[in-house]
Amino acid sequence: MAVSDVTPLRADARRNLERILEAARAAFAERGLDVGVEEIARRAGVGKATFFRRFPSKDALVLAVLEGFIEEIEAAADDAATAADPLDGLRGFLLHHMTLQANNTAFFDAVSARFTGENPPVELTDRMLDAIGRVLAPALAAGVLREGVEAGDLSTVAKMLGAAIRPMPGVLLPEAAWPRYLEVVLSGLRAGQDPLPGIAADPCTMVREVSANSA
């Protein structure tokens, strides 16, 4: 979803595209995906049509913004992977993830809601899974984790922490409480306890659809 370069954009067009992305990031962060295209365009100082000339649809914009986040997560994962203490790396990664979610209220929920089923951004989620694997590997190798921990557990725990941080849309858990819940789940994953019961979540579940019927 990067800038197409078959015919290089005119300078002003390129500038506007950048502005739109920036405005969208800000607007999505503040109010979630519900902000209208019109408002985003206005905040970017641009007409609606200009928006649609750059992005085929609102979804495409969302994907583009999402890609930025994935990149950030990948960077955090690389940091974590090179940490001296693998458990600290893991902690740092999850904390970074929490920050990202906190600064982008409702964004991730909305993203997953929007891309449910038919058009999952497989490439992006695969990159995310890779990142998770890179974070987990050193901790697994060092044997600091409870028996049975695997990738699906980490992605699930990340999701759980993301939920903890936003008790309601527009409400943020005070930062002083973050380490508490991070600690709760890390305690639950640390070595020196019984093996984890049950099966791990499928990390791919984050992208593949499995129709779930209620009982």
Point out which residues bind a second copy (CB under 8 A). 29-30, 102-106, 109, 112-113, 116-117, 152-153, 155-157, 159-164, 167-174, 176-181, 183-189, 193, 196-202, 205-207, 209-215
Q: Please name the residue that has the structure tokens 């019109």.
A: 38
Does 43 bind DNA (CB under 7 A)? Our answer is no
Give Cα 159 to chain centroid, integer Å: 9
**45 binding partner (options DNA, a second copy, none; Cβ < 5 to 8 Å by kind):** DNA
Distance CA 180, CA 168 (A): 18
Asked if 38 is part of the footprint of DNA (rule: CB under 7 A), the reply reads yes
Q: Which does 206 bind (CB under 5 to 8 A by kind): a second copy, DNA, none?
A: a second copy
**For a second copy, which is the closer residue by CB, 47 or 167?**
167
Helix runs in 103-197, H state only: 107-114, 122-142, 151-165, 178-189
CB 120 within 8 A of CB 209: yes
Residues 6+ apart with CB under 8 A from 72: 100
Which residue's CB is nearer to a second copy, number 9 or number 172? Answer: 172
The residue within the footprint of DNA, chosen from 26, 29, 30, 52 (CB under 7 A), is: 52
